[in-house]
Amino acid sequence: MQISEQIPDSDATFLRRGEGELAVVFVHGFLDDQHVWDKVIDELKTPGIETIRLDLAGLGDRGDAGGPFTYERLADEVGAVIDRVGKPFVIVGQSMGAPIAELVATARSERALGLVLLTPVPLAGTRLPDEVVEPFRSLGADAEAQRDLRQQLSVALSDADLDRLVAIGLRVRPEVVASLVDCWNTGLPDAPERSRYAGPVLVVRGGDDGLVTEELVATAVSPRFASVQTVVIERAGHWPHVEQPAALAAQLDRFLTEHATSADGNIAADARPQGWTNAFASKSAEAFGEAFADDVVLEASVLTRPIEGRDRVMQVMGTASAIYESLVFTHEASAGPRTYLEWEATAFGGMVVRGVTVLTKDADGRVVRAAIHHRPLWAALRFSSELGQRLTGTVDAEHFYGRAEGAQSTLPVA
């Protein structure tokens, strides 16, 4: 079932389809509208998701909206929709919509489980020279020019899809077209060299895209992210979601399965999915690395001294997560930069271990200090011994308590 909702005190409306605890938000690109995602959404196979779409200001059914047409304004509107939905989310942005998606994910990093950038223009802008960008600025109300542009930048648009895209673009007022071109060409003022979004990122490029090329992605997009994978959709240009919707949907399903839906079984109602909880679900060192700052420090009751540095901490956490047979985060609270996560786990054939994790994050949302408190004491000691054994030759043995083999035989299994 599909329903339409409106943001209070705004002309922005959005479409909701499906039911689930995870929202997948789609942000369209230049000259397009929310319906360019229809075929992709029809092809998605991931269960338990709700899809969200909207028209950006000045485009689609919001052609009468006034300016300014800036990344900040557009990101604020998309963010207001996500806040209204109130769920953890993965956000997908195409072309001009990609920087908008990044800004939204950065501002809501605790709920943003993933970011997908489809044929993305750089956040800092394409910076095309005037003689190149002026034909784009002049596209408003020019059907022939818009048709030529779509044909030049695509390889697999059907005649019907081409006609539909041109019709969508002709609805955009010429002055809005010029303003939006200036937006994506100039980019965000003072765009950071490194993205402030620390979660998993998927960059998808059309194999025959003449605008967002392999070189552009490799130099101005992918290097900005701490955890990024780049894939190519073959036989597609600048609009893979229209040219090859099934292929794109398959990539989205894979990304959702790996990064956004794996934590369902280890989150209770009073806690919410985030990079840390998802990493425990995947039991992957790389997944933990996505959440950490380079200078992260790990303290724990199972350690005799802290572990320092992103690479070493992610290795320890990846190994530790594999010891648990089950782990559920039961409660969460936040105060300033700190997040408190209460959890309950089993290990060693059903032994119950409980604890509290305190995460301290920097201004970019990355974990700079993790303090993990285990109880009861005998369970913590056994866990430390096992962890030290699994990390033999990798982490100095002095970080762990002795195995105490004789004591283990008398420990109760709760």
CB neighbourhood size of 325 (10 A): 12
CB neighbourhood size of 362 (10 A): 15
CA distance 373 to 357: 6
What pLDDT does 227 receive? 81
What pLDDT does 363 receive? 79
CA distance 160 to 399: 65
Question: Chain-centre distance of CA 103, in angstroms?
Answer: 11
| Closest to 227 measured CA to CA, from 127, 87, 116, 103 | 116
Residues of the chain with CATH 3.40.50.1820: 2-259
Question: Chain-centre distance of CA 48, in angstroms?
Answer: 17
What pLDDT does 202 receive? 95
| Bridge partner residues of 356 (DSSP) | 342, 373
Can the peptide bond before residue 135 be classed as cis, meaning omega within 30 degrees of 0?
Answer: no
- Is the Cβ–Cβ distance between 243 and 237 less than 8 Å? yes
Task: With H, G, I as helix, E, B as strand and everything else as coil, classify residue 63.
Answer: coil
Residue with tokens 């806040």: 83
pTM over 0.75: no
What pLDDT does 258 receive? 76
Residues of the chain with confidence (pLDDT) below 70 = 260-275, 277-279, 281-287, 289-290, 403-414
- The CATH superfamily label for domain 2-259 reads Alpha/Beta hydrolase fold, catalytic domain (3.40.50.1820)
Can the peptide bond before residue 68 be classed as cis, meaning omega within 30 degrees of 0?
Answer: yes
- Give me the CATH topology for the region 268-408: Nuclear Transport Factor 2; Chain: A, (3.10.450)
What pLDDT does 177 receive? 98
Residues of the chain with CATH 3.10.450.50: 268-408
CB neighbourhood size of 118 (10 A): 31
Question: Chain-centre distance of CA 52, in angstroms?
Answer: 15
Return the structure tokens found at 66.
């006034």
Task: With H, G, I as helix, E, B as strand and everything else as coil, classify residue 332.
Answer: strand
